[in-house]
Amino acid sequence: MRYIFAAAIFLFTRPSSAEPATPRNLVIIAVDGLRADHLGLYGYARATSPKLDARAKSAVVFDRAISQASWTLPSFTTLFTSVDPIDHGVNTSHVTLGPGLRLLAEVLKDAGFKNAGFVGGHFLDPVFGFARGFDLYRADGEGNYRFLPQTAAQGADWIRGWKNGRHFLFIHGNDVHPPFDLTSQGAKVRHLFDADYRGPVDDTLIDYQFVAEYNKVPAESQGLTPPPDYVRRVDEIRADPRSVRHISAHYDAQIRHVDDTLPQVFDALARTGHDADTIVVLLADHGLEMGEKGRLATAFHLTQYQSVVHVPLIFWVPGLTPRRVSRPVELLDVAPTVLDFLGLPAQASYQGRSLAGLARGQSEPPRLAFSSSSLIGDTRRDPPMFSVQDERWKLIYDSITRSRRLYDLAADPQENVDVSGGHPKQLARLTQALADHIRRQVP
């Protein structure tokens, strides 16, 4: 009995001294447009991410992380403010982040952090407000795309210069985002997958004009006037499943290129010893459609399918036991989570909840995950399309057509069969949850 008692005292007192210190630094890596299901660690068949797959074995991986918006600007606004698109209102490219929205970098700066961002430009340009709170923010101008070979290298350099104090590093790249311009990497990278293909995709730039035409978005609404021979070419690709699959092969080849690029960030942390006191988060702001339902990419059309809203979310936290978490969670939760791990209080304005408990394997009540879809050039303030999902069921609501669709994600992960007729209880439950969320009636 005495021995057991002594052992109990030992077990009881030991963890406080063995508990790893609160991490000091934070690195967030965002791969713009990277859908979760095209990574090996999320079950993809192609070897798009062997290095990340291996590294994820020491991480907490969220298997169902949902982005709150279908495209870049509203999604990153939510990520960095923990405010839903319905409330932050940054849902079209005419809107920038108002001073009332407090960004994660601003919170960390006030807590004494030194902050640097090396980003892929475009919607993360300072003109939209994302540079607020950063001591150093490199974007190279709106409309200029930058890629991870450059931004990750700049981030790794910055890590090597860390001295005393605490640091927040944000790395972002447009590598897997349209335009799929693979010419800089050459044919070897470009044709890593589906090398046998011979066809029109290889002579066509998959850019915004292509995406708009592919999705039959009225050209004038995007300020584009494609010539008739271009329309014919896009139609030809669109009608040929082989060519559509090849677009996806290019996307996958770019993911593999990203996989080869990211280790330099982890290596810089390891060589400086900062792997022991730094949280690393890898995520995406949204995915992209790759021909599913006859559509490509996102942002020029309203979409709430998993291909777009299901994103990777991976946390490396020193001392945390690796784990997979199946619960639906939201990008809204990332800011409160990292502050929690860094030992800092959440902001009163935060709508997300810390995922630290789930990451530690604690049981929590089930969560619902919401998302919304708006259009880049729209004039409406509120997104017109929404979704809500739990572990099994998903409701999509289109407020323009006033239509609802219910999917059983367990039986039908591709979201092909609307089962709203056969499951009135699930339909009513999720409809009510969505109506409460958007504070509007859902017919």
Closer by beta carbon to Zn ion, 32 or else 340? 32
State residue 363 phi and psi, 5-degree precision: -85, 140
Q: Least distance to Zn ion from the beta carbon of 423, Å?
A: 33
Stretch that binds Zn ion, among 194-202, 256-264, 303-311, 386-394 (CB under 5 A): 194-202
Is position 254 an interface residue for Zn ion (rule: CB under 5 A)? no
Contact string (CB under 5 A) for Zn ion, positions 306-345, x = contact: ----------------------------------------
**Residue whose Cβ sits closest to Zn ion:** 72
Please, what is the minimum distance in Å from the beta carbon of residue 177 to Zn ion? Answer: 6
CB 325 within 8 A of CB 309: no
Residue from 32, 84, 259, 289 binding Zn ion (CB under 5 A): 32
User: Which candidate, 86, 92, 99, 100, places its Cα nearest to that of 73?
Assistant: 92
Q: Is residue 252 part of the contact set for Zn ion (CB under 5 A)?
A: no
At its nearest, how many Å lie between Zn ion and the CB of residue 253? Answer: 8
Q: Which is nearer to Zn ion, 335 or 339 (CB)?
A: 335
Helical pair 241-261 and 263-271, crossing angle rounded to 10 deg: 10
Q: Which amino acid, residue 69?
A: A
* 3-state class (DSSP) for residue 84: coil
Please list the alpha-helical segments (H only) found in 318-442.
334-341, 356-359, 424-438
Q: Are strands 278-283 and 310-316 parallel, antiparallel or unpaired?
A: antiparallel
Q: Which of 53, 202, 275, 398 binds Zn ion (CB under 5 A)?
A: 202
Nearer to Zn ion, 193 or 393 (CB): 193
Minimum CB separation of residue 104 from Zn ion in Å reads 17
Query: How far is it between the farthest Cα atoms of the chain?
Result: 88
Q: Does 72 bind Zn ion (CB under 5 A)?
A: yes
Q: Which two tokens stand for residue 177?
A: 């985002």
Among 63, 175, 259, 285, binds Zn ion (CB under 5 A): 285
Question: Shortest distance, CB of residue 202 to Zn ion, whole angstroms?
Answer: 4
Give one DSSP letter per residue of 277-331, joined into a string: SEEEEEE-S---EESGGG-EESSSS----HHHHEEEEEEE-TTPPPEEEEEEEEG
Which is closer to Zn ion, CB of 186 or CB of 421? Answer: 186
C-beta neighbour count of 55 within 10 angstroms: 19
Q: Which residues bind Zn ion (CB under 5 A)?
A: 32, 72, 202, 285
